[in-house]
Every structure is written in structure tokens, then in C-alpha cells.
Amino acid sequence: MTGARPRFADHGAHILALRAAALRAVEPRAAVERWLRPEDFADAEQVYVVGAGKAGVGMATAVAARLGERLTAGVLSVPQAPAHGPDRLTFIEGGHPQPTEGTLRAGRATAELLRATTPRDLVLVLISGGASALLELPRPGLTLADLQQANAALLRSGAAIHEVNAVRTRLSQLKGGGLARLAQPARVLGLILSDVVGNALASIGSGPTVPTGTADPGAALRVVDKYGLRPQLPAAVLRQLEGGSEPEAEAPPLVENRLIGSSALAGEAAVAEAQALGFTAEWVADDWQGEARAVGVRLAELVLRRRARGPQCLLIGGETTVTVRGQGRGGRNQETALAAAVAIAGVPDVALASLATDGIDGPTDAAGAIVTGATVGDDPQRRLAAQRHLDDNDAYPFLQAAGALVVTGATGTNVNDLMMGLVY
């Protein structure tokens, strides 16, 4: 620990400083510059750039700068297209968390571009958080409405990301290695910024450059039945899932995927910042998952156990889920934070936060929230009100009224959620 003892009065500034340090460590331009080398494209006749994600603009800008005149053309699907992007790159605004017509337009444009590839070419695929919804080319017989209805059911079910992807992949010509297959016969290099727990490449953006084959075609239906989703899915989706495996072209022999950023890298940077602020800091784990409200209680209990040890900063990465049963407004980080606030109600000198590193938590304008013992406080009626908001999946208005929301706007990157616990 260095410097003067940190003060509880500064907890908000401390948490925002930790967040800023974490985001700097996974800034997409710098990540691409570290991982894309001149020898990667030295022998390529044509170099194409495709992909999708919330970090897509930053990643593509860095790739264009590195390639220079070697860049042939590219198509990227992003949440918001830049006013002035690099030459030879086309940015299309896709949808997130739901696919939109822009999502499909980006998929069609990507497929069209890749029809021109030869064995002498290189296809750079840039993938970051949100890619599953931002870029899509549905299998024949499926419409945008079908995909939207299926996606909504999956997101509300509380299914884990690998379960969601088991279904999504069966509906897509791009997921599960489909994009790599479309790039044949070119060489494929994937640059991937992870937004999933454990950094499984097949789960990031539903693995467009990670061929999964047809080893278990029944996995998608097992997910559907596990969460009772059949009544919520369109008939065309069920027909696709029940249709069994389809013959797929052999995966390209030259596919390389590089993980260029993750929550662990962000966490290490936040630890260093916490130490500079005067805390004893620890990166606890990067794999916290489960129902958001349960994770919030878990975070609170962990921090409360450390109260006797002096100034502590505990940092955790992960991605929770929310089984939506109510009609309220919020996101998984807000639900995590509100559950934690209930658990530390009335406790002094403790601050907790749960923040989306992409700056967008659910269908709201907030990245998450910072809570203390005063957020809910000692009033039993206020505690009951907080619990009612949790039960209705309605964390946003409660946290907004308490002044606890963190609103930052989109960050241009995404490496899971960052949870923090500060003891003063």
C-alpha cells in the first residue's frame, strides 16, 4: 500500500479511477497494435477486413493504420458508424442487444465481399463484445423477426452464454465458424477482444472464426427444453433446430485466432491503480457468473468479511445473468448493485460497484451503479421497497433516485463486467 490512507468520502472518485485504469488496459487500438504484426500480411496478395463488435471502430481504425495501402476492402458492423472512417472500410450500424435490419445488411455485405477471396489472400476478422447481435446471416427460411423473437426469449431466460450460443449457432450461417468457412480459400486471422467469462473463443461473438462442426446437433434443443422456450419460439426456428445437422464445408486449413484483450488484463491494471490510491488490492477472479442478485449478495459478503483488515480493494470480473420475471427497467449490473446495497444496508465505510465495461447495462443509459450502506440505509420500509424493485427487475428507478447510477455512454470496448468492493 502506498500514499495516505484513502477516505470514504472519495469512494466515487476512487471507483471511477479504477474503471478508467481498467479501460485503458483494454483500449482496442492499442490491443490491435500489440497483436497485429507486419509479417502477418507480408505475403498476402489482397487483405480484407471484416467483423463486428462494440470495439469495432477502434479495432478497424488501428488495423487500417497498420495495413496502410495493403488494405484492399472491409466491412464492419458496429453500434454506431463513425462520421469519417478509414478509406476502403465500410461501417454498417447493426443492432444490440437485438439484431436489426442493419445486422442482416452487414451479414450480406460481408458474404458478398468474401466471394472474391483466393488462396493468396488474408481475411482479418475483428470480433468484440456484441458481435453476435451486430452481424448475422440467417439460415434459409429464417427472417429477422424470427431471430429477434428467439434472441429475446434466450436473453430473458437466464441461460448462460454458451447455452445461448448453442441455439444461435444453429440459426446462423456466420456463427460457429461460419464466417471462416465463407472466407475460403483465403487464410483467416481472427483478432478477438473477449467479453465472455473464461475467454472461450467459441463463445465470443458466437465464434465466427471457430468452427464447431456438427458434433452435437441436439445441444440447441436441450437448451430450449431446459428453459421451457418452445412456446416462445417461432415455428421456423423450431423447424431449424429440429432439422438435424447439415453438411458443412471443411474448415479452412489456415485459421488462426488471437485473444488480444480480456477482463484479467483490465483487472491487473485496476489493481495497480488501487495500490497507488492507498488500498491493499486483489484481483479475486474473472469468472463470477450466475443470477445477478445472488452475485450481488456474494460480493457484499466477501467485502464485509474483509472489513477488519484496513483499506481493501477487491476486484472481480464476470458476467451475470438475469431471469426476467418482472416488468421493470434495469440491467444485470444494476441488479447486482441493488442486491449488494440491500446486503450492506446501514454498514459504514464500504462501497461496492458493478459496471459494464462497454458502458451500456441492459436497455438503459447506465453502465451500472455505485452503492454504499446509505443507498438503502436502516429504514425497514426502504429495504422493503428495494426488495420490491429487485423482484420486479426494476433496479434502475431505485438506483436513479438514490443517485447511485453511473452513466458514461459507450466506451468503445467490452471485456465483461467489472465488480469492485472498497473497504475504508
pTM: 0.82
Question: CATH 3.40.1480.10 occupies which residues in the chain?
Answer: 8-24+263-423
pLDDT reading at 244 higher than 70: no
Question: CATH 3.40.50.10180 occupies which residues in the chain?
Answer: 27-261
- Say which residues have a Cβ less than 8 Å from residue 288's Cβ, sequence separation at least 6: 197, 295, 298, 316, 317, 318, 319, 320, 419
For the chain, the distance separating the N- and C-terminal CA atoms, rounded to the nearest angstrom, is: 13
Q: What does DSSP assign to residue 81? A: -
Residues in the chain: 424
Q: What does DSSP assign to residue 125? A: E
Residue 247: the pLDDT is: 47
pLDDT reading at 250 higher than 70: no
Give the class (CATH, top level) of 27-261. alpha beta
Superfamily, domain 8-24+263-423:
MOFRL domain (3.40.1480.10)
Per-residue pLDDT tens digits for 319-378: 999 999 999 999 999 999 999 999 999 999 999 999 999 999 999 999 999 999 999 999
Per-residue pLDDT tens digits for 9-57: 999 999 999 999 999 999 999 999 999 999 999 999 999 999 999 999 9
Q: What does DSSP assign to residue 116? A: T
Per-residue pLDDT tens digits for 54-98: 999 999 999 999 999 999 999 999 999 999 999 999 999 999 889
Determine the Cα–Cα distance for residues 46 and 118; give it in Å rounded to an integer: 9
